Amino acid sequence: MKEIPAFAAELADCIRLLHHQGHSPATATNYSFKDDEGQLWVSRSGIDKSSCLDTDFITIDAQGKTQAPYEHMTPSAETGIHCAIYEMFPTTKVILHSHDLYSLLVAHNKNTLHFEGFELQKGFPSVTTHLGQIQIPVFPNSQEMDDIIKHMESRKDELIYQVFMIEKHGFYTWGTSLFEAKRILESFSYLCKTSWYLTK
């Protein structure tokens, strides 16, 4: 059996934290990483994120097919989205997913989310000031991952901040490290919550 990378335990720790922060209710959300050899690992389907362990990750190929010795296990239903992100952005090392409540509220019936003047805009890649506006794309939800991937591909130039929202579903962030992906997740979550309260 392929040895589980040490990073899997670090990511599992992060997932348990995200669960307690409200990002992963029930068995929702999915996570993945690329190891030093370029092998993709994704969280298996149906696990309770409050007790996620390093053994809850399984290997997949670039098309999302489970590899030996994990053929008997089911990867996340959204594995295709992970594969698409790794293909579109080859430097990606880790992908996080959130079902954050406030992101769902502010993205309702939106095509794009706009944030302007917030200090935490600097939590996104290449943003060095709170001045100006950033825009985050919102895609319609679908049970067909290919539909979501088509939206990702057609609006790739809008993914410069390494986050996108799926309406009535949740959002994805990614990075070259867990630190970067988590920073983007926390920044986006904070901006969504703040924006929601400012409209009330």
Where helices occur in 36-177 by DSSP H, the ranges are: 79-88, 101-107, 145-154
List, in sequence order, every residue forming a beta bridge with 173; answer none if it has no partner: 96, 163
CATH number of the structural domain spanning residue 136: 3.40.225.10
The pLDDT value recorded for residue 71 is 84
- Answer yes or no: is 2 within a domain: no
Does 68 reside within a domain? yes
DSSP 109: T
Q: Is residue 190 part of a domain?
A: yes
Structure confidence at residue 1 as a pLDDT band (50, 70, 90)? low
Domain holding 184, by residue range, is 7-198
Structural domains of the chain, count: 1
Query: What is d(CA 149, CA 198) in angstroms, rounded to the nearest whole number?
Result: 32
Can you tell me the mean pLDDT for 10-17?
97
In the DSSP assignment, the letter for residue 64 is -
pTM: 0.96
Position 17 pLDDT exceeds 80: yes
Residue at 43 is within a domain: yes
**What mean pLDDT comes out for the span 3-9?**
94
Residue 35 lies in a domain: yes
* pLDDT tens column, 74-112: 898 999 999 999 999 999 999 999 999 999 999 999 999
- Looking at the domain assignment, is residue 127 inside a domain? yes
Burial class (CB in 10 A: 0-12, 13-18, 19+), 62: exposed
Cβ within 8 Å of residue 125, ≥6 positions away: 160, 161, 162, 180, 184
Interval 158-190: pLDDT, tens = 999 999 999 999 999 999 999 999 999 999 999
As a whole number of angstroms, the distance between CA 82 and CA 42 comes to 8
Residue type, 56: D
Provide the pLDDT for residue 163.
98
Question: Residue 131, Cβ neighbours under 10 Å: how many?
Answer: 9
